[in-house]
Structure 1
Amino acid sequence: MKKPVLIISYYWPPAGGPGVQRWLKFAKYLPENGYDVTVVIPEKPHYPVRDESLVKEIPENISVIKVSINEPSRLSGKLSRKRTKNLQRGIINKKANLLERTLIWIRGNLFIPDARVGWKRHVLKAVELYFATHKNATLITTGPPHSVHLIGMELKYLVPSIKWLADFRDPWTTIGYHKDLKLSERAQKKHLQLEQQVLDQADMLLVTSPHTGKEFKSKTATPIQLITNGFDIQPNTIQNQPKGKFILAHVGTLLADRNPLLLWESLQELCDEIPSFKEDLSLQLAGNLSDDILLSISENQLEKYLDNKGYVSHDEAVELMFNAQALLLIEIDTEETKAIIPGKIFEYFASRRPIIGIGPKSADIELLLTDTHAGEFFNYQQKTALKKHILSIYELYKKGDNKANFNEQISRYRRSHLTKILAQTIDYTWE
């Protein structure tokens, strides 16, 4: 008999972006590991990014409970559609106008911990019947939005016999944008209080990065399990370099704070110094871009090389990765972002194209790149080394020798393998 597990996730297809795929893929492989999976998702949510291609990946052998949700972003969207979507995506304008500053203040101080907090009462009512017949189920909540964990905390109180695993795809109070929400002292205190309650009352904490695990270990005695994100695509089998331009590609959102000036400056200098470089260069950016990124590219006279794809489907993103000469992995240069491991890095691994990582010193992504030999990492003070490395890749490209990386270390990041670890973790909580 399969063991029951209930997953509560705000993000689910047709939501786009890498975050949705974590539990979509766990739900796919958990039945193979002896689990009867039910997923609770919002009904008609207001997702800032949508990818209809992911709908076809929803497993047929799981149950889905759709629960109504009131989205405050619908109302604010009537005031300013673009600004509201940017806030939902995490794009906070550093030169915000009065309306934007007001929306940010409301988001940070009136909706704690986030704007989906009102979904809680609807979910609690919707799952009453499930827990009436599954008193020994495993409950998994995944955030952000971290208000989903408040649902888990309430259910653990109402049904003490369940085991509750709280999954943190990102940190809570130490995430980079938290300080930009214009929090009052009362709001900040409330965030810290709620975070501590969740950390202490869950039976197990799941984290996606070593830094987050270390942070939580300093805050609670609750057991912690590191399970990174991963990939579920078929790895690239072509060893030779792709044909065509010298494509440097970035897949994903580029925020104002994630603006690698050292990269733009290095590319501009290489264009000035090497005539063939500017003839071959193509800078492909797929995803939501802040105006600051576009301005920096223009100021460094790179706009003629820019291929701005905008948001693309998951299938298109994979094709872009496979056809790049090198993949750009860029993280914000702050202490808080050392813990962030972008979900795209794992599909970057599967693409087997060289990765150029840029981020803060001692970031977790540096450890991953070193471990898999999938690329090189540079902090924001290493412009000379970065420029030299890009040139070395370009020289390989000109020789037709910019080959793929076939290091088998990447196999540990297959979604099927990671789900086995999750299944073992669930079993451990019941011992």
Structure 2
Amino acid sequence: MNPQKVLIITYYWPPAGGPGVQRWLKFVKYLPEFGIEPIVYCPENPNYPIIDKSLVNEVPKAITILKQPIKEPYQLASFFSKKSSKKISSGVIPKAKKQSLIERLMLYVRGNFFIPDARKNWIKPSVTFLSKYIEKHQIETIITTGPPHSLHVIGLQLKQKLRVKWITDFRDPWTTIGYHKALKLSKASAQKHLHLESQVLNSADSIIVTSNHTKNEFSTKTRQPISVITNGYDNHSVRVEGKDEKFTLSHIGSLLSERNPKILWEVLSELISENEAFSKAFQLNLIGVVSDDVLESIHNSDLKNHVNRVGYVSHDEAIKYQMASRLLLLIEIDSEDTKAIIPGKLFEYLISETPILAIGPEDSDVQQIITKTNTGVYFNYHQKETLKTQILSYFDAYLSNNLNVHAIGLQPYSRKALTKRLSEVIKESL
């Protein structure tokens, strides 16, 4: 029996770095084991804010990869302000009162002239190219993954034009995502986003989301079937000699302006001031992009001498930091909207054999996963004293060489198990 061909339309693909590329890179790796032949369509000349060339080695050799040129406004915007363009394209949006004139202008233009997003100019040429390819190669199923949500519009137009089954994969929500509110949208522009979102949700044959909160939100907007398939972890061969000598608390990934846990900085500052042993042993590792607002808060809390600012590293290097650290830090914005966000790094944290210290909105999907898997402790932004007590407890365990984690129930989050669920959704859509 010949494998079923599925066309996957994605913006992020190696050498892109960051969590956006990991999801479908791993799905593509395992789909052939479930009788599905993935064909990937991605940009030929994208403006990726983060590059990780090591991920190119993980792309399966046997799969077909289609590429077409893309024109992006960030390439033009960089002529005016390369720094601001790179910040905004990577999602680092300064607080409104700290935005420069050029940043405010770029956000207004991005939000109101590029709907649904800055990749809108790729829609028309992609539909033209893919229409011919789909008919020629008798593709029955297409999958679009976003953000960027322009790719869902590509799927929408292909669905309207051809007799093809269409599955949408929402790695994040659309109109309720935090950065959406920072785009300085006019009422007309906001309405256009809502209209496009509604069209996509009600035209797709099946919808995939990464969290239960997003499923609940979309269930109020469409009657189409919705499946929750989270991100996950994959087996790796990375090894470290042992845990760090210092009492390291490591955050891997972007710390954006709104993802700024001042409650944590205050607690750490107090512990350093009150506990000499803690002061000598503690180190905060920041691995990834960190906004100026977050750095300012850290420095204002007199933590500067305890910070190891590493910057962006390759995926393998990030895993090494996870495995060697004494504690792993997971931060989400204190907002109703962010309860649905499950960072991809959480699942790699789960298998790192390192306790997770998480801070975010109450009753989030992240809180449920950490609690269910017994991999750490989760706090909201109003639990300063219990947060302080927990960190001190972790430090005491570190001093006695007894800081461990005993994870349970991780197998459902393996990339292979998740791909099996994806294959079932694909087959159900036919």
- Secondary structure of the 1:44 match is coil
Deviation (angstroms), 1:136:
4.9
Q: CA deviation at 1:139?
A: 0.4
Residue matched to 1:232: 234
* Residue in structure 2 matched with residue 426 of structure 1 by the alignment: 426
1:311-322 pair list within 5 angstroms: 311-322=312-323
- How far apart are the structure 2 equivalents of 1:139 and 1:357? 36
Amino acid at match of 1:126: F
**Structure 2 gaps, min length 5:** none
Q: How does 1:76-225 map to 2 (within 5 A)?
A: 76-94=77-95, 95-160=98-163, 162-225=164-227
Whole-angstrom distance in 2 between the partners of 1:235 and 1:13: 20
* Alignment partner, residue 51 of structure 1: 52
Cα RMSD (Å): 1.4
For residue 40 of structure 1, what is the aligned residue in structure 2?
41
What do residues 298-340 of structure 1 show as CA deviations (whole Å, max 9, x unaligned)?
1111110100000111011000000010100000001111110
Displacement after TM superposition at 1:126 (Å): 2.1
* TM-score, L = length of structure 1: 0.97
Conserved? CA contact 1:141–1:152, under 8 Å: yes
Tell me the TM-score normalized by structure 2.
Answer: 0.97
2:250, 2:352 → 1: CA distance?
12
* Per-residue deviation, residues 225-270 of structure 1 (Å, max 9, x unmatched): 00000011339899x9724110000000001100000111111111
Q: Write the distance in 2 (CA, Å) between the matches of 1:305 and 1:55.
A: 35
* 2: CA distance, partners of 1:10 / 1:236: 28
Q: How big is the shift at 1:125?
A: 2.3
The list of structure 1 runs, each at least 4 consecutive aligned residues, that deviate by more than 2 angstroms after superposition, is 133-136, 233-238
Count of aligned positions: 427
Distance between the aligned counterparts of 1:361 and 1:394, measured in 2? 25
The answer to whether 1:4 aligns with 2:5 is yes
Residues of 1 paired with 2:207 and 2:138: CA distance? 21
Residues in 2 aligned to 1:78 and 1:50: alpha-carbon distance in whole angstroms: 20
- Determine if contact 2:250/2:328 at 8 Å carries over to the other structure: yes
Q: Distance in 1 between matches of 2:161 and 2:397?
A: 61
Counterpart amino acid of residue 419 in structure 2: T
CA distance in 2, matches of 1:49, 1:206: 25
Query: Helix, strand or coil: the match of 1:141?
Result: strand
Show the counterpart of 1:344: 345
Shift of the alpha carbon at 1:91? 1.2
What displacement does 1:92 show?
1.2
1:22 aligns with 2:23: yes
SS of structure 2 residue aligned to 1:409:
coil
The one-letter code sitting in structure 2 at the alignment partner of 1:111 is F
Counterpart-to-counterpart distance in 2, 1:289 and 1:243: 22
Deviations 1:110-143 (A, max 9, x none): 0000010110112122223321134452100000
SS at 1:351 equivalent: coil
Measured in 1, the distance between the counterparts of 2:46 and 2:239 equals 38
Contact 1:341 1:365 in 2 (8 A): yes
Q: What amino acid sits opposite 1:192 in the alignment?
A: L
| Deviation by residue 1:7-54 (Cα, 9 ceiling, x = unmatched) | 000000111101110001001100111111110000111111111111
Contact 1:236 1:350 (C-alpha < 8 Å) held by counterparts: no
What CA distance in whole angstroms lies between the structure 2 residues aligned with 1:404 and 1:361? 23
Aligned counterparts of 1:241 and 1:272: Cα–Cα separation in 2: 29
Question: Which residue pairs with 2:410 in the alignment?
Answer: 410
User: Structure 1: any 5+ residue segments left out of the alignment?
Assistant: none
User: 1:90, 1:177 within 8 Å by CA — same for their partners in 2?
Assistant: yes
Task: Report how far residue 408 of structure 1 moved.
Answer: 3.8
Q: Distance in 2 between matches of 1:28 and 1:91?
A: 30
Asked whether the 8 Å contact 1:230–1:418 carries over to 2, the reply is yes
- For 2:205, the aligned partner's letter is D
| Paired residues of 2:238 and 2:316 also in contact (CA < 8 A) | no
Contact 1:233–1:350, Cα closer than 8 Å, also in 2:
no
Which deviates more, 221-230 or 122-131? 122-131
Deviation for aligned residue 1:404: 3.5
In structure 1, give the amino acid aligned to 2:20: G
Letter in 2 for 1:409: G
- Alpha-carbon displacement from aligned partner over 1:355-410 (angstroms, at most 9, x marks no partner): 011001111110011110111100000111111111111100000011243x2411
Distance across 2 between alignment mates of 1:368 and 1:241: 26
Distance change in 2, residues 1:235/1:404 (3 Å): farther
Distance 2:152 2:64 in 1: 21
Instruction: Give the letter aligned to residue 382 of structure 2.
Output: Q
Identity of aligned residues (%): 49
Aligned partners of 1:328, 1:361: CA distance in 2, in Å? 17
